[in-house]
């Protein structure tokens, strides 16, 4: 990735399409990004090979995530979903996935469910 002269370095450290419904990832991910299955509260713990919680500092670790909502014959299979970052933890970073009313998706809504995720760091 190119950067303007004199600016901090910026790296993509993990990324890809990640299943959050208990299935294996359909395609390989960068840095072996993987996720736990979504729990009853909508929480998903994600991690990658070599993950360490970010140290406090002036430059953040950035998490970008979008739900992948497949369409069949022009109709969406699930209701719109919202993905929120919760916290960095010892074993990974915690996300919460809900519908537009703040409720976790039901099993029928959430399966199959994948997120498109990119993790980047400034160093």
Number of domains in the chain: 1
Q: What is the pLDDT of residue 1?
A: 56
Judge whether 57 lies within some domain: yes
pTM listed for this prediction: 0.83
The pLDDT value given to residue 24: 84
What are the start-end ranges of the H helices in 14-115?
A: 107-110
Q: What is the enclosing helix (H) or strand (E) of 72?
A: strand 71-72
User: Is residue 114 one of the residues assigned to a domain?
Assistant: yes
| Domain contains 4 | no
The Cα–Cα gap between 102 and 50 comes to: 32
Q: H or E segment at 109?
A: helix 107-110
Q: Residue 20 domain-assigned? A: yes
Residue 3 lies in a domain: no
Q: Which residue has the tokens 């022009």?
A: 74
Q: Give me the domain span that covers residue 87.
A: 10-122
Question: Residue 52 and residue 62: Cα distance in Å, rounded?
Answer: 14
According to the model, what pLDDT value does residue 76 have?
Answer: 63
In a domain, 101, yes or no: yes
Question: How long is the chain?
Answer: 123
State the Cα angle at 98 between 93 and 99, rounded to 5°: 155
Q: What is d(CA 123, CA 50) in angstroms, rounded to the nearest whole number?
A: 16
pLDDT of residue 97: 93
- CA dist 86 and 119 (Å) reads 14
d(CA 4, CA 2) in angstroms, rounded, equals: 7
Whole-number pLDDT of residue 111: 59
Is residue 91 in a domain? yes
Domain assignment present for residue 32? The answer is yes
Q: What is the pLDDT of residue 78?
A: 66
Give every residue of the chain whose pLDDT is below 70, as ranges. Answer: 1-4, 7, 57-58, 71-78, 106-111
């Amino acid at each position: 990735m190119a950067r303007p002269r004199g600016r901090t370095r910026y790296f993509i450290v993990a990324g890809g399409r990640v299943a959050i419904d208990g299935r294996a990832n359909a395609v390989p991910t960068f840095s072996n990004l993987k996720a736990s299955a979504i729990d009853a509260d909508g929480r998903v713990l994600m991690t990658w090979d070599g993950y360490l919680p970010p140290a406090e500092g002036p430059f953040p670790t950035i998490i970008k995530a979008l739900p992948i909502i497949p369409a069949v014959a022009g109709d969406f299979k699930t209701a719109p979903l919202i993905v929120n970052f919760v916290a960095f933890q010892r074993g990974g970073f915690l996300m919460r996935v809900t519908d537009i009313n703040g409720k976790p998706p039901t099993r029928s809504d959430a399966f199959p469910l994948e997120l498109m995720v990119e993790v980047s760091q400034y160093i």
